[in-house]
């Protein structure tokens, strides 16, 4: 059996970055390379129905080996990495027997994992930590999840003495851009309940997440020679910054935590003539979420009143909703995951996701789907890392979930 470290390193070698500007499904063809490799790997492990469909979804079944009816459980992870930073040519560093101090990521460019900035690091003293080299993200979000599911599949196929019901395996593209289950066929997948393995640090268990929307604001300026611009020029860049300043400062990601929502400007492109602002809008509370969207609309309307009709155009779309209302009626699946962690010697940390997962949307599509940790930290950037022992625990938790549902 392939060990978890080697498997993880093999998967992160694939560049699978998704692209929010693409209209194709999946958004990038390079994701299909890993997805097809996973489908073939599943077939080699003995999952005869493993296949990738036209949209890039990989689905497979481990048949039941018990003679009683138990729920069919699914395990899902996404293969794409975030557009926030390059996921190509990843050069991981493997730090064995971590000494508990600062970790230099790159001696030339200088970034480091400093205890002052990342105070959770010392809890992994003595473990094996996998980091970036300070020039790319790592890809633990969510190739750690892919690794843990595949390692568990390999174990179950090699150990038929482990009794279990029918198990469904799913891998998706484009989760990072909010389109991970746009074409996912829940009926075809065939699970009664599922778990995404897409959480953070060891112990995290999540069944509530943000309500989410994306907003793009196009700003039409008027470029006039600056020597003759008085009472004529409309500088689209300045209008963009003025609009952004109308949003509450204390509702930015860097000032919020727990159940607090935010407006997050993720991109500004512009010239004097025209500019574009892109935002994500998040809140756990549906009422507050709707209020945030209304505020965004009012800001755009105000700018059009101030600078003229058509100066600003808003394109805003809901992306996903808080899964809690769909999962709580099936609370036993949370209790099962909670117990599975305790069996693995992991202290469960039940907390709201300050983000979203494929499971959030799947829950509204009829497949209750809470989220389990994969072990990583600082996703989407060069400070991303994952302890090997956390990935091993995630695999153990998955196998415990399988065992508990078979009883």
Containing 337, the helix (H) or strand (E) segment is helix 332-343
The helix (run of H) or strand (run of E) holding residue 312 is strand 312-320
The residue assigned the tokens 């935010």 is 262
> 168 and 194 in contact (C-beta within 8 Å)?
yes
d(CA 267, CA 284): 23
Tracing tokens 């953070």 back to the chain, one arrives at: 200
Which residues make beta-bridge pairs with 17?
A: 81
Q: At a CB cut-off of 8 Å and minimum separation 6, what does 209 contact?
A: 284, 320, 322, 323, 324, 352, 353, 355, 356, 357, 360, 371
Q: Identify the active-site residue in 175, 176, 198, 392.
A: 175
Comparing CA positions, the residue from 216, 203, 333, 225 lying closest to residue 269 is: 216
Of 80, 166, 358, 396, catalytic: 80
The three-class DSSP label of residue 51 is strand
Best CA proximity match to 164, nearest among 147, 152, 146, 150: 152
Residue 175 annotated to the active site: yes
Using a 10 angstrom Cβ sphere, with 0-12 exposed, 13-18 middle and 19 or more buried, the burial of residue 210 is: buried
**CB-based contacts of 340: which residues, under 8 Å, 6+ apart?**
397, 398, 400, 401, 403, 404
CA distances in angstroms from 393 to 49, 152, 204, 341, 345, listed in the order given: 28, 11, 12, 8, 9
Q: Clarify whether 15 is annotated catalytic.
A: no
Show which residues are catalytic.
80, 175
């Amino acid at each position: 059996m392939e060990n978890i470290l080697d498997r993880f390193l093999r998967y992160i070698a694939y560049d699978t970055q998704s692209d929010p500007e693409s209209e194709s499904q999946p958004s990038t063809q390079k994701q299909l390379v890993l997805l097809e490799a996973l489908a073939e790997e599943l077939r080699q492990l003995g999952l005869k129905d493993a296949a990738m469909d036209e949209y890039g979804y990989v689905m497979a079944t481990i048949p039941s080996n018990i003679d009683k009816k138990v729920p069919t459980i699914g395990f899902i992870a996404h293969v794409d990495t975030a557009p926030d930073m390059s996921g190509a040519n990843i050069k991981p560093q493997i730090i064995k027997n971590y000494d508990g101090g600062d970790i230099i990521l790159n001696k030339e460019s200088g970034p480091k994992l400093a205890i002052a900035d990342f105070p959770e690091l010392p809890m992994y003293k003595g473990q094996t930590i996998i980091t970036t080299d300070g020039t790319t993200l790592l890809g633990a979000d969510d190739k750690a999840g892919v690794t843990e599911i595949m390692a568990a599949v390999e174990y179950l196929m090699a150990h038929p003495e482990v009794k279990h019901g029918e198990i469904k395996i799913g891998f998706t593209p484009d989760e990072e851009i909010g389109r991970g289950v746009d074409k996912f066929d829940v009926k075809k997948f065939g699970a009664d309940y599922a778990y995404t393995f897409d959480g953070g640090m060891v112990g995290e268990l999540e069944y509530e997440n943000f309500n989410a929307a994306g907003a793009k604001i196009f700003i039409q300026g008027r470029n006039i020679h600056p020597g003759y611009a008085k009472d004529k020029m409309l500088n689209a860049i300045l209008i963009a910054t003025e609009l952004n300043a109308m949003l509450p400062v204390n509702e930015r990601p860097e000032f919020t935590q727990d159940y607090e929502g935010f407006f997050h400007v993720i991109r500004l492109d512009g010239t004097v003539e025209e500019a574009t602002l892109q935002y994500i809008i998040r809140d756990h509370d549906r009422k507050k979420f709707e209020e945030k969207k209304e505020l965004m609309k009012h800001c755009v309307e105000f700018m059009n009143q101030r600078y003229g009709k058509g100066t600003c155009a808003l394109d805003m779309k809901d992306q996903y909703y808080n899964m809690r209302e769909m999962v709580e009626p099936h609370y036993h699946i949370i209790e099962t995951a909670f117990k599975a962690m305790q069996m693995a010697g992991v202290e469960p940390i039940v907390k709201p996701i300050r983000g979203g997962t494929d499971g959030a949307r799947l829950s509204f599509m009829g497949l209750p789907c809470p989220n389990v940790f994969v072990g990583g930290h600082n996703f989407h950037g060069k400070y991303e890392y994952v302890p090997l022992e956390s990935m091993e625990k995630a695999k153990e938790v998955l196998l415990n979930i399988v065992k508990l549902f078979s009883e």
